[in-house]
Amino acid sequence: MTNLTEREQELLASVPKGLLIAGQWQEASSGKTFPVADPATGEVLAHVADAGRADAEAALDAADKVQADWARTPSRQRSEILRRAYEIVTERADDFALLMTLEMGKPLDQARAEVVYGAEFLRWFAEEAVRDYGRYVTTPEGNNKILVQQKPVGPCLLITPWNFPLAMATRKVGPAVAAGCTMVLKPAKLTPLTAQLFADVMIEAGLPSGVLNVVSSSRAGEVSGPLLRDPRLRKVSFTGSTPVGKQLMAEASENVLRSSMELGGNAPFIVFEDADLAKAVEGALAAKMRNMGEACTAANRFLVHEDVVEEFTAAFTTAMQELKLGRGTEPGSTVGPLIDGRARDDVHALVLGAVEDGATIALGGRFGEGAGYFYEPTVLTGVPHDARILGQEIFGPVAPITTFSSEAEAIALANATEYGLASYIYTRDHSRLLRVAEQIEFGLVGFNAGVISNAAAPFGGVKQSGLGREGGAEGIAEYTTVQYIGISDPYKN
Ligand code: NAD
C-alpha cells in the first residue's frame, strides 16, 4: 500500500535512476542500487544506481576526455545552455518542488522557493559566462608587457548535501559550466532524485556528453577517494558538514587540489534593544525555521538584549506555536519532518543536554506524531552562555535564547565559535550595524533580514565554515585559474 498519489508516482517514474556517464544513463557496474525514502512516511520512493570506484573512474575518464574541447566552446554557447536550463527548470518548477518535498521533506512552498533560488544560479551564471575579463598592461618599469588570462581549472568533483537538493547542485554546476569545466557530480545519498532530474534537464538544454557526469552512491568515500587521488582531477567543490570537509581537504592535499568548501555554521541572531521587535520576530522565524532549521545559515543562537528579551521571547514563542507540522505536501503544513531518525535523535539529544545545562523548554522539545521524523518547533529560554547547545550546529527546529547586556558582550558571544558562516543583526542604528559587522567574524551578515541568500551575492564562510564563495562575481572565479604571460619589450624585438 502506497501513500503516493498518482501524480507523485508518475513524477518519480520520470526521474532517471541510473548513473550519467559520458552522456548515457546506465546501471552501476556492480548492478547495485540503493533506496531513497520519504522522511515524512518512511516509504521507499525509488531505487537509484549505486556507484562504486569503477563507475567514479569511468565518470572522470568521460569528464577528462571532453575537457579540452569544452574549454574551447565559445562562452556564448555555454551561456545559452545555462539559460535554456534555467528556462526548463522554471517551466518544470512544480515537478522539482514536488520531488524535493518527497525526498527531503520540506513544505511545498519552501520547495518552490528553492526552485526559484536554485534556477537563479543558472540564469546568473549564464550572464556571467560571457564576462570573462583578462588584462594587458605595461610593467611599472615601462618596458615589458603583462598579459593575464583566465582559464577553466579543469575537471571538477562536486559533492552536494541533502538539505537543498537543487540549489546546492546549480550553485556548483552553473559556474563550472560558465567557466568551461567538466564535472563529476556526487549528490547526497538521501536526496539524489532532484540532482538526477536536474542532470536530465542539463542534457535537454544541450550540454554535450561527458561535460556533466552524475555518480549517485551510498558509499561516498568509495567514489570520492579514488578521484581525489587521480591527477586528472583539478578541483573539488564540497558543501556539507565541517568534519567531512576537513577529511576531504586532507585527501585533496595530496594533489594540491583547488578546493572550495561550504561547511557548517553556528549563526548568531542578535537582537539589540533598539530593534523593531515585530520585524525581528518575523526574521527570526524565517532564519530559524526555513527548511525545518536544516540549513547552514539557520539561526543557531538567539542573542537578545536583556531589556527586550521578555517581549521578544513571548512574541517569537507565539509565532513558533502557530506553525503546523505535517508532510510537506499537506496544505497548510509549515514544518516538515527532519531528514532521518538519526537527525531527529541528535536534535533531541541537544535539547536534553541544554536542559541539563540549565535551559528551560518554553515550547516543544518532543517528537511529532506519525511515522515520519517530525520534531516540534522548540524554544529554549535562559540558556547559559556555556551550554553545549550554543557550541554546536543544531540542524533542527530548536531556538535557544540567551541574553547580553552590552554591544561588546554581543560581539564577544557571537564570535565565540569556530564557525563563521551566517549572522543576523537587528537594530535601527546603521552606525551600530557597521560597527558590529566590522567586528564579527562571519562571511554573511543579515541586517534586519532573516533570509539573505541570493545568486548575485558571494555566499561563503570564514574560520571552519569554509573556503571560497559561491554566487556573485566571485562564484565563477572558483572555477578558473589565472595564467600570466610575460611579454618582452615590443620596441626591443
Ligand atoms: P555531510 O557532510 O554528511 O554530507 C555532504 C555530502 O558529502 C554528501 O553528498 C555525502 O554523501 C558526502 N560525504 C559524506 N561523507 C563523505 C566522505 N567520507 N567522503 C566523501 N563524501 C562524503 O553533510 P550533510 O549532512 O549532507 O549536510 C549538512 C551539512 O552541510 C551541515 O553541516 C550544513 O551546515 C552543511 N551545509 C553547508 C552549506 C554552505 O553553503 N556552507 C550549505 C548547505 C549545507
List pLDDT tens digits, range 373-418: 999 999 999 999 999 999 999 999 999 999 999 999 999 999 999 9
| pLDDT tens digit sequence for 232-282 | 999 999 999 999 999 999 999 999 999 999 999 999 999 999 999 999 999
The residue whose C-alpha atom lies closest to atom 6 belonging to ligand 1 is 161
Whether the per-residue pLDDT at 492 is higher than 90: the answer is no
* 33-to-26, 29, 213, 220, 381 alpha-carbon distances in Å: 12, 10, 17, 14, 45
For residues 44 and 3, the answer to whether their CB atoms sit within 8 Å is no
For residue 26 and ligand 1, the question of a CB distance below 6 A is answered with: no
Mutate to test the pocket of ligand 1, among 100, 163, 350 (most ligand atoms within 8 A of CB): 163
| pLDDT tens digit sequence for 169-226 | 999 999 999 999 999 999 999 999 999 999 999 999 999 999 999 999 999 999 999 9
Q: What's the pLDDT at 490?
A: 87
Domain spans in the chain, listed from the N-terminal domain onward = 6-264+466-482, 267-416+422-454
Predicted TM-score of the model (pTM): 0.98
Same fold, 6-264+466-482 and 267-416+422-454: no
Determine the CATH number of domain 6-264+466-482.
Answer: 3.40.605.10
For residue 265 and ligand 1, the question of a CB distance below 6 A is answered with: yes
Residue 493 — very low, low, confident or very high, per pLDDT cuts 50/70/90? low
**Which DSSP category does 478 fall into?**
T
For residue 209 and ligand 1, the question of a CB distance below 6 A is answered with: no
Task: Quote the CA–CA distance of 102 and 162 in Å, as a whole number.
Answer: 12
User: Could you tell me the sign of the dihedral formed by the alpha carbons of 450, 456, 461, 466, in that order?
Assistant: positive
Task: Quote the CA–CA distance of 489 and 144 in Å, as a whole number.
Answer: 4
Place of cell 531513497: 36
| pLDDT tens digit sequence for 34-93 | 999 999 999 999 999 999 999 999 999 999 999 999 999 999 999 999 999 999 999 999
For residues 298 and 265, the answer to whether their CB atoms sit within 8 Å is yes
What three-state secondary structure class fits 306? Answer: coil
486 Cα: distance to centroid of ligand 1 (angstroms): 41
240 Cα: distance to centroid of ligand 1 (angstroms): 2
Residue 2 — very low, low, confident or very high, per pLDDT cuts 50/70/90? confident
Whether the per-residue pLDDT at 8 is higher than 80: the answer is yes
* Counts of helices then strands in the chain (DSSP H, E): 15, 20
The residue whose C-alpha atom lies closest to atom 42 belonging to ligand 1 is 296
Q: What is the chain's mean pLDDT, rounded?
A: 97
- The answer regarding whether domain 267-416+422-454 maps to CATH 1.10.630.10 reads no
For residues 154 and 181, the answer to whether their CB atoms sit within 8 Å is yes
Letter for the amino acid at 90? T
Active centre residues (catalytic): 262, 296
Average of pLDDT values for 21-37?
Answer: 98
For residue 262 and ligand 1, the question of a CB distance below 6 A is answered with: yes
Q: What's the pLDDT at 132?
A: 87
Letter for the amino acid at 379? V
Average of pLDDT values for 15-20?
Answer: 98
Question: pLDDT exceeding 90 applies to what percent of the chain?
Answer: 98
